[in-house]
């Protein structure tokens, strides 16, 4: 299984309603091979945290690559881009649980 983790720091004054709509769109993606998909805004429990997070599990590398290439996913990613100051990503293999 492949876990994808994405963290984003958003620009000051970003459009919160648009970011929420983008999150809803991402949550509703139906890409084959997606096992689990969690997305949200930081709860503000510590100073310095990043603002936006995605944690997604995929059956295998092929499923992750299909998600990464998915047209609807890329359209949402393009909508988010103007609000992103910094982004960090990592994909790693995890044991099935």
Residues in the chain with pLDDT values less than 70: 96-97
> How many whole angstroms separate alpha carbon 83 and alpha carbon 25?
16
pLDDT of residue 97: 61
Task: Report the Cα–Cα distance between both ends of the chain, in Å, rounded.
Answer: 9
pLDDT of residue 78: 97
Strands 2-10 and 52-58: antiparallel
pLDDT of residue 51: 95
pLDDT of residue 16: 94
Residue with tokens 């620009």: 11
Structural domain boundaries, residue 32: 2-93
pLDDT of residue 86: 98
Residue with tokens 């881009």: 81
Q: Looking at residue 11, which CATH number applies to its domain?
A: 3.30.70.100
Q: How many domains does the chain fold into?
A: 1
Instruction: Tell me the C-alpha to C-alpha distance, in Å, between residue 46 and each of 15, 28, 54.
Output: 22, 29, 18
Q: What is the 8-class DSSP label of residue 44?
A: -
């Amino acid at each position: 299984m492949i876990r994808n983790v994405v963290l984003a720091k958003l620009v000051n004054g970003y459009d919160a309603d648009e970011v929420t709509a983008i999150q809803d769109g991402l949550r509703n993606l139906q890409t084959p091979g997606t096992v689990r998909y969690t997305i949200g805004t930081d709860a503000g429990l510590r100073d310095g945290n990043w603002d936006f997070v995605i944690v997604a599990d995929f059956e295998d590398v092929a499923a992750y690559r299909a998600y990464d290439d998915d047209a609807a996913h890329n359209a949402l990613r393009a909508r988010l881009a103007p609000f992103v100051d910094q982004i960090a990503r990592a994909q790693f293999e995890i044991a099935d649980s």
